Chain A
Amino acid sequence: MIEFQNVSVSFRQKRTTLTAVDDVSFSIGKGEIFGIVGSSGAGKSTLLRTINLLQGVTGGRVLVDGKDVTKYRGKTLRGHRRNIGMIFQHFNLADNLTARQNIAFVLRSAGVGREEADAKVREYLSLVGIPEKADVYPSKLSGGQKQRVAIARALAGGAKILLCDEPTSALDAETTLSILKLISTLSKQLGITVVIITHELNVIKSICSRCAVMDGGKLVELDGVYSLFTQPKDGFTKQLIGHTRTHDLPQEILDNTYGPVVKLTFLGPDANTPVISEASSRFGVQINILTGRIEYIENKPLGILYVNPIGEEYVVRQTLDYLKNVVREVEVLEDGAGI
């Protein structure tokens, strides 16, 4: 549906050229919710904007439904853009137009008659859950409500692709979830392909099925979201994801534990086996759970536990050997020198 073929974008500056997107190739399927992550300046926005030609390419091609869009101009370009809605971090609604007028703008400039446009506006305002806000100006709306209006504006013209540039980065955690839920619902309900770029891994975890990782303009990794988060391959991805997978145990606690501190990572079905109680009863070892959490990505569990087995040295060693056998990843952080 959307295919990047060796896409490059460079910006000429005074003396140097800055390559914001560097030979990127991959494709996004129809109806997919596809994520692009990377740190700030990685070239995510630039790449996204080549899809609707807010940004031209310096090299390569962007295919949408099999057609190279990079040469589109004038009327063809406008027709292409009408099939693609876009939402932004700062919503970008016209402040002096009401919610209704903001949405109607898209329809009216596409030549839709006044009455039909009005009906469409009402339909889409209901679809995004704020039918009562039609005549309200953006300054009187909350961040979440503004993004809902922006989504309605993006889709009211019948767009089949929704481009989201950091759509929740200006929202609090709770509103973020509700907006992501709305995007995912609309994607299913209307059969819309969604490309969402973000620096927040939680966004990717909650709604994307596949995700590309960008660093320094390059595509460094692309995978299904579950495997990306559980088995990252690229060094940069590991580092990016590592932040969400480290513990926040105070040093004082670590210093005062006797015996080893062990990080256990459970993936998929592993997470459902009671290995801790099994080890405990089999070896007569006491296992102290220091911290841990289980999260679900694509409805599959990813569990991380920090445990501290306490007992005779050989018992502890037996326990570790056992855990290494049954748990996907076992990492001994402190070998118990504290004794």
Chain B
Amino acid sequence: MAQGFSLQAALIKAFEETALMSGISLLIAVVAGGVLGLLLYVTSNPLFIKNRLVNQSVGIIINIVRSVPFLVLLVLLIPLSKMIVHTTIGPKAVVVPLAIAATAFFARLADASFADVSKGVIEAAVSTGASKWSVVARILLPEALPSLIRNITVTAVSLIGFSAMAGTVGGGGIGDLAIRYGYQRYQTDVMLICVVLLIILVQGVQLIGDISAKMLDKK
């Protein structure tokens, strides 16, 4: 009975840690990655501020981050985490590598979402004499929004997976719990509960993403 109680508490704590790690990283990734994605888009489109140098530089930086395996990134960024959040263990510390990886990931997806907006629609908006900023804010964003939401969902799901991995190097969360009890102490039932919990979490995020994208898409 006592063990059951502590397991429940551990599960709640792990769930909170996963939600915290993924949530904060997602927020940062959506804002920073969204801005980078927009930068990639406007610097590739002659109707905005086409600039090869900026476009390729940003692209290369993003590619570098994306080509480093996440576990390596996790280790590489320990000094940076220490600087920003003054700790190298726990959910707070892994937010830094998680956010950076997810930002690079989402930047590419956001660029693709913007590029998917009909060129003709953008051109028609530009032809009205509206400023570039106005076209971005009033036409590009609403037109790209359903696709952006779908890509935010993809990013969130990947983040949940990555955060489980990050947990194993001291980040905490559901992944960490699964490894500690299930793998190291042979408590397969705990591991199963953790896996089910992760499945429910991913399904829930996907469902919310799908519904909101569908609601916003008037095409």
Spell out A's residues near B (CB within 8 Å).
Answer: 52, 54, 77-86, 88, 90, 92-97, 105-106, 108-110, 137-139, 150, 153-154, 157
- Given A92-B118, A94-B121, A96-B217: A105 touches B129 (CB 8 Å cut-off): no
What is the CA–CA distance of A157 and B124 in the complex, to the nearest angstrom? 14
Instruction: Report which residue of B130, B134, B146, B217 has the largest number of chain A beta carbons within 10 angstroms of its beta carbon.
Output: B130
Are B124 and A81 within 8 A (Cβ)?
no
- 10 smallest CB-CB distances across A and B, nearest first, come from A81-B129, A82-B129, A109-B130, A92-B124, A109-B134, A92-B120, A137-B218, A78-B129, A106-B128, A95-B219
In the complex, how many angstroms separate the beta carbon of A155 from the nearest chain B beta carbon?
Answer: 11
Chain A residues whose C-beta falls within 8 Å of the C-beta of B131 in the assembled complex: 78, 109
Are B138 and A84 within 8 A (Cβ)?
no
Chain B residues whose C-beta falls within 8 Å of the C-beta of A54 in the assembled complex: 123, 126-127
What is the CA–CA distance of A92 and B125 in the complex, to the nearest angstrom? 9
Chain A residues whose C-beta falls within 8 Å of the C-beta of B146 in the assembled complex: 96
Q: Using CB atoms, name the residue of chain A closest to B219.
A: A95
B216 at the interface (CB under 8 A from A): yes
Chain B residues whose C-beta falls within 8 Å of the C-beta of A93 in the assembled complex: 121, 124
Q: Using CB atoms, name the residue of chain A closest to B125.
A: A105
Spell out B's residues near A (CB within 8 Å).
Answer: 118, 120-121, 123-131, 134-135, 138-139, 142-143, 145-146, 216-219
* 12 examples of A-B residue contacts, CB within 8 angstroms: A78-B130, A80-B129, A83-B129, A88-B120, A95-B219, A96-B143, A96-B218, A97-B139, A105-B125, A105-B128, A105-B134, A106-B130
Chain B residues whose C-beta falls within 8 Å of the C-beta of A105 in the assembled complex: 125, 128, 130, 134, 138-139
What is the CA–CA distance of A3 and B129 in the complex, to the nearest angstrom? 21
Chain A residues whose C-beta falls within 8 Å of the C-beta of B134 in the assembled complex: 105, 108-109
What is the CA–CA distance of A52 and B121 in the complex, to the nearest angstrom? 16
Chain A residues whose C-beta falls within 8 Å of the C-beta of B138 in the assembled complex: 105, 108-109
Chain A residues whose C-beta falls within 8 Å of the C-beta of B124 in the assembled complex: 86, 88, 92-93, 150, 153
Chain B residues whose C-beta falls within 8 Å of the C-beta of A83 in the assembled complex: 129
Chain B residues whose C-beta falls within 8 Å of the C-beta of A154 in the assembled complex: 128
Are B128 and A109 within 8 A (Cβ)?
yes
In the complex, how many angstroms separate the beta carbon of B138 from the nearest chain A beta carbon?
Answer: 5
In the complex, how many angstroms separate the beta carbon of B109 from the nearest chain A beta carbon?
Answer: 19
In the complex, how many angstroms separate the beta carbon of A24 from the nearest chain B beta carbon?
Answer: 21
Are A97 and B128 within 8 A (Cβ)?
no
What is the CA–CA distance of A19 and B125 in the complex, to the nearest angstrom? 27
Chain B residues whose C-beta falls within 8 Å of the C-beta of A109 in the assembled complex: 128-131, 134-135, 138
Instruction: Report which residue of A83, A85, A106 has the largest number of chain B beta carbons within 10 angstroms of its beta carbon.
Output: A106
Chain A residues whose C-beta falls within 8 Å of the C-beta of B129 in the assembled complex: 77-83, 106, 109-110, 157
What is the CA–CA distance of A81 and B127 in the complex, to the nearest angstrom? 6
What is the CA–CA distance of A251 and B134 in the complex, to the nearest angstrom? 61
Chain B residues whose C-beta falls within 8 Å of the C-beta of A81 in the assembled complex: 126-129
Q: Using CB atoms, name the residue of chain B closest to A108.
A: B138
In the complex, how many angstroms separate the beta carbon of B140 from the nearest chain A beta carbon?
Answer: 9
Chain A residues whose C-beta falls within 8 Å of the C-beta of B126 in the assembled complex: 54, 81
What is the CA–CA distance of A161 and B217 in the complex, to the nearest angstrom? 33
Are A139 and B123 within 8 A (Cβ)?
no
Chain A residues whose C-beta falls within 8 Å of the C-beta of B217 in the assembled complex: 96
Q: Using CB atoms, name the residue of chain A closest to B121.
A: A92
In the complex, how many angstroms separate the beta carbon of B174 from the nearest chain A beta carbon?
Answer: 36
Q: Using CB atoms, name the residue of chain B closest to A110.
A: B129
Chain A residues whose C-beta falls within 8 Å of the C-beta of B218 in the assembled complex: 95-96, 137-139
Chain B residues whose C-beta falls within 8 Å of the C-beta of A157 in the assembled complex: 128-129
Instruction: Report which residue of B123, B124, B130 has the largest number of chain A beta carbons within 10 angstroms of its beta carbon.
Output: B124
What is the CA–CA distance of A18 and B187 in the complex, to the nearest angstrom? 71
In the complex, how many angstroms separate the beta carbon of A164 from the nearest chain B beta carbon?
Answer: 12
- Given A92-B121, A96-B217, A139-B218: A82 touches B128 (CB 8 Å cut-off): yes
Are B128 and A94 within 8 A (Cβ)?
no
Are A96 and B219 within 8 A (Cβ)?
yes
What is the CA–CA distance of A138 and B135 in the complex, to the nearest angstrom? 18
What is the CA–CA distance of A88 and B129 in the complex, to the nearest angstrom? 16
Are A90 and B142 within 8 A (Cβ)?
no
Chain A residues whose C-beta falls within 8 Å of the C-beta of B142 in the assembled complex: 94, 96-97
In the complex, how many angstroms separate the beta carbon of B62 from the nearest chain A beta carbon?
Answer: 27
* Given A94-B125, A106-B130, 17 additional A-B pairs, CB 8 A: A78-B129, A79-B129, A80-B129, A85-B127, A92-B123, A94-B142, A96-B145, A96-B217, A97-B139, A97-B142, A105-B128, A105-B138, A109-B134, A110-B130, A139-B219, A153-B124, A157-B129
